[in-house]
Amino acid sequence: MEERCHNLIDYFNGTLSASDREAFEAHIATCDECKQALQEMEELMLPIAESLPERPVPTGMKSRILGEVLASTNETRQETPHVTKPQETELEAARANKQRKRSVPLGWLMSIAAVLVLSLGANAYLLAQEDDPEQTETLAMDEVNGMGNFESTASIQGSSMIFTKDDKEYMLVQLKDLPPLKKGELYQMWTIQGDQVKANGVIEKDGQAAAVFALKGSGKVDAVAITVEPEPDLAKPTGEVIASATL
């Protein structure tokens, strides 16, 4: 008998550590005696259970348990969503918060961009996550009106998207490799509509960033540009354009 054979009872009772459990599972694949002994123990479970005196089941147990189990379906599906149709409550939250700027991890956003484009036939949905993955917000898009990648003089990468939701227009910006800012500086987003240039959103961090801004003005946005500015929302850019995306 091998040393591992002594772990059979503890394996059956779930008292082994994770590493011992894995080792025993590897062992049992090659030890016919343990395999058979475990099978015998499991096969006796049904007759032993059936031999027990029957207990009266508490009133309403079935509806409580099935109610909880069926309600757990949605929770489980929400645990690992990427781009998904939001639940009604999420939609309501998204509506209530829609004017708020949302910051989302950039890598994650990048990965969903292609999915969003593919979803245009139906409604496209964006799930924005804060740093805490438990805090999931949903932003529903009715229509995507334009999308483009940034070209940069400063190795900035990213993309921008204009979309509508409830007849309002929004601009999504996702960026990475933003160069470090000096104290007091900020990244200013500008929208270019024909010959009009409007300050439309500020990002006050370097590195990676992503945000959604309510679009100012109306009409088709031709391009989004980024400059470094000393103050937010100036009438005209004072710094040089370091990145721009044609939509």
Partner 1 sequence: MHTQSDESLYHQMRGGDEVALETLYDKYERLLFSFAHRFTNNDRLSEEVIQEVWMKIWNGRVDFNTEKGKFSSWILTITRNAALDCLRREKRQPTIEIEERDGGFDEPVERTVMQRETAAEVREAVQELKPEQQELIELVYFTGLTQQQISDQLELPLGTVKTRIRSAIQALRKLLEGRER
In the set 26, 29, 48, 117, which binds partner 1 (CB under 8 A)? 48
Separation between Cα atoms, residue 175 and residue 226, nearest integer Å: 11
**Residue 183 binds partner 1 (CB under 8 A):** no
In this complex, which beta carbon is closest to partner 1, that of residue 25 or of residue 151? 25
- From the list 32-40, 118-126, 137-145, 193-201, the region that binds partner 1 by CB under 8 A is 32-40
Q: Is 49 in the site for partner 1 (CB under 8 A)?
A: yes
- Is position 39 an interface residue for partner 1 (rule: CB under 8 A)? yes
Q: Which helix (H) or strand (E) holds 94?
A: helix 88-96
Q: Say which residue the tokens 């639940």 belong to.
A: 87
Asked whether 212 and 201 are in contact (CB, 8 A), the reply is no
Among 6, 95, 101, 168, binds partner 1 (CB under 8 A): 6
Is residue 3 involved in binding partner 1 (CB under 8 A)?
no
Taking CB under 8 A as the rule, does residue 26 contact partner 1?
no
The torsion angle over the Cα atoms of residues 161, 92, 112 and 177, rounded to 10 degrees, is 60
> For residue 23, what is the enclosing H or E element?
helix 18-28
Interactions with partner 1, residue window 54-73 (CB under 8 A): 54-55, 57-58, 61-62, 64-66, 68-70, 72-73
* 217 in Cβ contact with 191 (< 8 Å): yes
- Cα 59 vs. chain centroid, distance in angstroms? 41
- Give start and end residues of each alpha helix (H) in the chain: 8-12, 18-28, 32-43, 45-50, 61-79, 88-96, 106-118
Of the pair 73, 218, the CB lying nearest partner 1 is at: 73
Residue 187, C-beta contacts closer than 8 angstroms, at least 6 positions apart: 175, 178, 181, 202, 203, 204, 209, 226, 227, 228, 229
Q: Does 8 bind partner 1 (CB under 8 A)?
A: yes
Write down the least CB distance from residue 30 to partner 1, Å: 17
Q: Which class for 51: exposed (0-12), middle (13-18), buried (19 or more C-beta within 10 A)?
A: exposed
When asked if residue 45 is in the footprint of partner 1 (CB under 8 A), the reply is: yes
> One symbol per residue from 120 to 149: x for binding partner 1 (CB under 8 A), - otherwise; what is it?
------------------------------
Query: Which token pair is 106?
Result: 């950039």
**Shortest distance, CB of residue 202 to partner 1, whole angstroms?**
43
Q: How many residues bind partner 1 (CB under 8 A)?
A: 42
* 32 scored as a contact of partner 1 (CB under 8 A): no
Q: Which of 17, 19, 76, 135 binds partner 1 (CB under 8 A)?
A: 76
Site for partner 1, rule CB under 8 A: 1, 5-10, 12-15, 37, 39-55, 57-58, 61-62, 64-66, 68-70, 72-73, 76
